[in-house]
Amino acid sequence: MYTTYTGSKVRLRPFRDLAEWDSLGLLGIEEPGEHWGPWHETLQENHPLFNDHGGLNPAEEYCWAVEELSSGRLVGEENMHPHRLGCWLGTHIRLDWRGQGCGVEAKLLAAGFAFDNFPVENIFAVTLAAHSRAIRGLELCGMRRIGQEAVSYYSAGNYSSRVYFNLTRAE
């Protein structure tokens, strides 16, 4: 049994079934992000993470459904990869739900889960330098920009720099 984490706008919860899991994967393939580009794996390649652990594999990765509270709709997913004293968080919110604070709250709820359940001392996230909405969202989460990796990611025919953000347990 897993605890759900509920904020004022969204809830992090396990995916209900494989069809719900696939609905976000299909969305990522059909509507690739303008910054990150299309997903790198097919739906079938992504099935083992759900089939083996329902998306919540304590040894490797947690992937929660992000549910908007007032409508009960699936609006995205939150990923978490704890490793030793650090934890990477990644957020994917559907295009029609962006700009409403769902991603910021989902990331804060996942950070709370990580700090409550693991001996991690810092949370980090990465986005592309041109992805101003993601950068603003990370700043709204209280994360600090800690560095940039020049021209390290190739997407949509261009190279882009990646920007790293951090939030420590003490903060």
Residue 94 lies in a domain: yes
Residue 151 lies in a domain: no
Least confident of 9-13, 127-131, 139-143, 155-159: 155-159
Spatial distance between the Cα atoms of 157 and 160, rounded to a whole number of angstroms: 10
Residue 154 lies in a domain: no
In this predicted structure, the answer to whether residue 101 has a pLDDT above a threshold of 90 is yes
Residue 159 lies in a domain: no
Among 95, 74, 100, CA closest to 31: 95
Residue 163 lies in a domain: no
Spatial distance between the Cα atoms of 11 and 50, rounded to a whole number of angstroms: 19
Amino acid 83: pLDDT:
85
Residue 160 lies in a domain: no
Residue 166 lies in a domain: no
Tokens 């549910």 belong to 67
Amino acid 151: pLDDT:
81
Number of domains in the chain: 1
Domain span at 23? 5-126
Mean pLDDT confidence for 116-140: 92
Tell me the pTM: 0.86
Q: What is the CATH number of the domain that holds 82?
A: 3.40.630.30
Among 17, 162, 42, CA closest to 90: 162
